[in-house]
Amino acid sequence: MTRFTIERSDTELHTSHSGLGLVGLLLNEHTSLGRRAEQAVYGSPSISHADVLRSYVGLLAVGKSDFEAITGVKADPWFKTALGLRKVPSAETLRQRLDRHAGAFEKIVPKSSLELLQNTNAPVTALASGHVGLDLDVFTLDNSDTKKEGVSFTYQGFCGYAPIAAYLGEEGWCVGMELREGSQHSQTDFIAFLERSIKNAQKLTSKRLLVRADSAHDSLETLRALEAHKKIDYIVKWNPRRADKAQIRDKTFGEGTVSEPRRGKRVAIAVTRQRRDVNGKTCFFTLLLRVTERTIDRRGQMLLVPDVEIEGWWTSLSKPEEVIALYEGRGKSEQFHSEIKTDLDLERLPSGKFATNSLVLSLGGFVYNMLRVIGQFGLLGPKSPVRHPAKRRRIRTVLQEIMYVAARLVRTGRRLILRFGRHCPAFDAYKLLLGRFAPA
């Protein structure tokens, strides 16, 4: 192996995060986060509120969530230039400012995130049915062995938080993100979150929405709220709770459509109308039931007792097979959770204060959308450095292929040139994105 030595240059400036130039462009040219931050809180500190928020957005955009990470870029001229900062805050200033104004800042972040998607004309891809999917789901963040506010026992069996998120379209745009205590029930305050998410989604697409939610949200309150919207359809997983399994099986096989996919396995599907009395008013909701009975398992072993599986979905759609297929597509939201938790390093939130962590998670949803925009416009076409075809790029792929590309900064006259290597595979994609997002 060839031996090598290292040395530090006093004249040449290099960066390993050239993608921050695109983040700064999106942040300052396609959102008004900086202006909103200055208007949200009274006062004129030496380091502006806008610079504090922009700095933390820059950290999240390269996969760093801890406040101390700002120390490593405080003397980096590219970090300051790329994000349009006057001053880079210290770790102490960053933490204290977010702690002090978390509530005020959190109100403006969702607006800026939605503004980003509108101003960049983010594509919203519909499902095969013609609907645009809106998936709402609770997930968990493991913050075990900490004494942070709001950390409590979650449904996953560890101590942490249980935030809720809403994702729109096949791209998975985040149109809602809310931090919750770990022990908070999924249905608590769900209707208010649902209404906000629907409102945000309708600002991004004129197509009919299909709201999909799991059995944690099976309640009369949810169904009434969904039925009140005439321009959306919905699929909510049914929670059998204390339902009589034997009675449902007999009724479904007796009245429904029965098929036998293989020997020893029968499947019955039935559509029923369920009556509910609400404040003296009678309401009817459609419940799709699927009962699977197995007397022989898939390996050919005969069972002493038949295995009966009962599933159900509350829905406003009429075709059973379509409902089942559309609900299965909701599973992609688990990947979106994973990208926020791992790719953006937000599994363990950085603060001990609940309000600050709530702001951090909201900023995480904002940065997630920003990196998704970069991925959809820059990493899917013929100039993409990624070769395999895909409908969307994972956030980690955006970080690896765009954000972490090294470049040399050259100052000549009054110009700043970002010079990439001769064989840099991301150059064409970066040039394409720069031309798309830069002001005319």
Q: Does residue 329 lie within any of the structural domains?
A: no
What residue spans of 212-319 are helical by DSSP H?
A: 220-227, 245-255
Query: Tens of pLDDT along 168-185?
Result: 999 999 999 999 999 999
The pLDDT score that the predictor gives to residue 10 is: 66
What's the rounded Cα separation, in Å, for the pair 313 and 212? 10
Q: What is the residue range of 362's domain?
A: 13-119+352-437
Which has more pLDDT, 388 or 200?
200
In this structure, is residue 404 part of a structural domain?
yes
pLDDT of residue 6: 67
Rounded (5°) CA angle 159-165-168: 155
Q: What is the CA radius of gyration of the chain?
A: 25
What CA–CA distances, in Å, run from 40 to 100, 108, 193? 12, 8, 22
The neighbour count for residue 254, using CB atoms within 10 Å, is: 10
Sequential DSSP letters for 114-150: HHHHHHTT------TTS-EEEEEEE--EE-TT---TT
Helices (H), 45-85: 49-61, 77-83
Predicted local distance difference test score (pLDDT) of residue 218: 94
The pLDDT assigned to 391 comes to 87
Rounded mean pLDDT of 402-428?
88
pLDDT of the residue at 8: 66
Terminal-residue alpha carbon distance, the chain:
50
The pLDDT of residue 421 is 87
265 residue type, one letter: K
Q: What is the mean pLDDT of the chain?
A: 93
Vertex 262 angle, CA 259 and 268, to 5° = 25
User: φ and ψ at 295, to 5 degrees?
Assistant: -105, -15
**Confidence band, pLDDT 50/70/90 cuts, at residue 44:** confident
Q: Read off the pLDDT band of 243 (50, 70, 90).
A: confident
What pTM was computed for the model? 0.94
| Helix, strand or coil, per DSSP, at residue 307 | strand
Nearest in space to 286 (alpha carbons), one of 270, 267, 266, 268: 270
What percentage of the chain carries pLDDT values higher than 70?
A: 98
Q: Which pLDDT tens digit goes with each residue over 310-340? A: 999 999 998 999 999 999 999 999 999 999 9
Closest C-alpha among 134, 270, 302, 303 to residue 202:
134
d(CA 384, CA 42): 44
Per residue in 55-104, pLDDT (tens digit) is 999 999 999 999 999 999 998 989 999 999 999 999 999 999 999 999 99
CA angle, corner 331, sides to 328 and 335, nearest 5? 160
Name, of 26-30, 228-232, 279-283, the range with top average pLDDT: 26-30
Q: How many domains does the chain have?
A: 1
For residue range 105-147, list pLDDT tens digits in order.
999 999 999 999 999 999 999 999 999 999 999 999 999 999 9
Cross-strand pairs, 275: 284
- Answer whether residue 405 is part of any domain: yes
Look at residue 219 and tell me if it is in a domain: no
- Give a yes or no: residue 104 inside a domain: yes
Any domain includes 204:
no
pLDDT of residue 275: 85
The whole-number pLDDT of residue 9 equals 66
What average pLDDT does range 138-167 have in this prediction? 96
CA distance readout (Å), 396 to 105, 158, 342, 372: 27, 26, 9, 10
Give residue 11's pLDDT. 61
d(CA 84, CA 373): 20
Query: Is residue 425 scored above 70 in pLDDT?
Result: yes
Residue 140 maps to a domain = no
Residues 6+ apart with CB under 8 A from 47: 86, 87, 89, 93, 97
Q: For 290, which DSSP code?
A: E
Q: Return d(Cα 33, Cα 109) in angstroms, integer.
A: 7
CA distances from 268 to 47, 241, 326 (A): 65, 20, 18
Is the four-CA dihedral 383, 388, 392, 395 of positive or negative sign? Answer: negative
**Strands 407-412 and 415-419: what pairing?**
antiparallel
